[in-house]
């Protein structure tokens, strides 16, 4: 299979490039805040394992940090999404109110609790343990219960951001990458936001300097599938915003939303792969084990982060096959 890579004939307007660059930065920050929410909740769960000693200040700091990340996340979502509703802000206000009520519990209230863990020998039933358990119940809830929880807010915000994203008709990137997989032709409009492509010589996969995209397309450049390609029956269009270490990719012309982002700069604290797929898209059901998958009302999200570079590179190659093999 060959990749047809060429510099686009159309000229990308500077205003469009600037707008896309700002959108890409906003999405990075939104997902960074969303990951922080998940990490903070995971840390709270770890503290409840009974292997850690903590005080009330830890619990108060956990709540304050969660509220900051939640508010930042929905601010970025509102800037990104013209159709953004007040649903997330309303839910955030309810979350904040609920958290304040929990933190105002007196020691007597907490010790009087006769909830499901009150007689559990595995728990050291201190005031701090009981307060943190109440906070974690506020942080998570069994989806789709419409509770004022941090995870409910995260899922609603990601739904509002990614389920409604659309690509401007006729948008041209700085480069076009075309290839056929099975009976489908894939046309990728790539916008080089910095050090993503080089135009020297006959253009091959080596001209793609965006590491995540190069790994995603590597199986196609190496494959012999194109030698016996079927007749193309349809074309799928994609828009890619790319830098040397980063890409976000969105599918156009399809009924079901699909958004993909990857950052690969050899820093375990920030490197990640993120996928949002609409409820009717089979993609996430095919994702290999090891990814973090969550259901939302309008789709599913899948994440891999905090992993080594080999795991991420393997994940990018697998994602490329899932997205582009037909």
Work out the angle between the directed axes of helices 14-47 and 150-162 (0-180°, nearest 10): 160
Note if the pTM is more than 0.75.
yes
Q: What is the mean pLDDT of residues 205-215?
A: 92
The rounded distance, in Å, linking the Cα atoms of 78 and 123 is 41
pLDDT band for position 37 (cuts 50, 70, 90): very high
DSSP letter string over 30-61?
Answer: HHHHHHHHHHHHHHHHHHTTTT----HHHHHH
pLDDT band for position 226 (cuts 50, 70, 90): very low
Identify whether residues 179 and 157 lie together within a single domain: no
For residue range 8-18, what is the model confidence (pLDDT) as tens digits? 776 677 777 78
Identify whether residues 277 and 318 lie together within a single domain: yes
Q: What is the mean pLDDT of residues 229-254?
A: 85
* Full domain range(s) for residue 271: 4-12+170-324
How many CA atoms within 13 Å lie on the side-chain side of 246?
13
Identify whether residues 145 and 256 lie together within a single domain: no
Identify whether residues 317 and 196 lie together within a single domain: yes
Identify whether residues 113 and 251 lie together within a single domain: no
Last residue of a domain, one of 162, 195, 216: 162
Identify whether residues 74 and 200 lie together within a single domain: no
Identify whether residues 153 and 30 lie together within a single domain: yes
The rounded distance, in Å, linking the Cα atoms of 97 and 275 is 31
Identify whether residues 8 and 20 lie together within a single domain: no
Identify whether residues 297 and 311 lie together within a single domain: yes
Identify whether residues 89 and 183 lie together within a single domain: no
pLDDT of residue 252: 78
Structural domains in the chain (count) = 2
Identify whether residues 142 and 219 lie together within a single domain: no
User: Highest-confidence range of 22-31, 45-54, 64-73, by mean pLDDT?
Assistant: 64-73
Q: Quick count: other Cβ atoms within 10 Å of Cβ 235?
A: 12
For residue range 141-198, what is the model confidence (pLDDT) as tens digits? 654 445 788 999 999 999 999 987 777 767 778 899 998 888 889 999 999 988 899 8
Determine what percent of the chain is predicted with pLDDT higher than 70.
88
Last residue of a domain, one of 119, 136, 162: 162
Last residue of a domain, one of 139, 162, 185: 162
* pLDDT score of 262 more than 50: yes
CA-closest candidate to residue 88, choices 159, 166, 165, 164: 159
């Amino acid at each position: 299979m060959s990749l047809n890579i060429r510099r686009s004939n159309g000229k990308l307007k500077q205003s469009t490039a600037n707008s896309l660059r700002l959108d890409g930065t906003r999405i990075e920050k939104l997902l960074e805040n969303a990951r922080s929410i998940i990490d903070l909740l995971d840390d709270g769960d770890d503290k409840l394992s009974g292997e850690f000693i903590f005080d009330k200040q830890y619990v108060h700091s956990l709540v304050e940090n969660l509220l900051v990340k939640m508010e930042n996340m929905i601010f970025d979502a509102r800037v990104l999404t013209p159709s953004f509703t007040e649903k997330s802000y309303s839910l955030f206000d309810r979350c904040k109110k609920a958290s304040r009520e929990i933190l105002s519990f007196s020691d007597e209230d907490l010790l009087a609790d006769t909830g499901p863990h009150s007689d559990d020998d595995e728990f050291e039933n201190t005031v701090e343990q009981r307060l943190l358990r109440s906070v974690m119940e506020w942080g998570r809830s069994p989806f789709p219960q419409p509770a004022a929880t941090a995870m409910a807010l995260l899922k609603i915000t990601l739904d509002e951001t990614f389920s409604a994203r659309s690509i401007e008709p006729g948008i041209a990137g700085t480069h076009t990458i075309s290839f056929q997989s099975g009976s489908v032709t894939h046309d990728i409009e790539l916008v080089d936001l910095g050090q993503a492509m080089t135009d020297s010589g006959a253009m091959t996969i080596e001209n793609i300097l965006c590491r995540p995209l190069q790994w995603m397309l590597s199986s196609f450049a190496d494959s012999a599938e194109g030698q016996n390609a079927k007749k193309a029956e349809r074309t799928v269009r994609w828009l890619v915003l790319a830098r040397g270490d980063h890409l976000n990719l969105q599918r156009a012309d399809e009924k079901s939303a699909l958004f993909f982002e990857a950052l690969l700069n050899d820093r375990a604290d920030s490197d990640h792969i993120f996928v949002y797929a609409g409820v009717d898209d089979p993609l996430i059901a095919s994702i290999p084990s090891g990814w973090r998958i969550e259901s939302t009302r309008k789709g599913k999200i899948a994440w891999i982060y905090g992993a080594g570079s080999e795991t991420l590179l393997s994940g990018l190659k697998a994602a490329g096959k899932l997205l582009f093999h037909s």
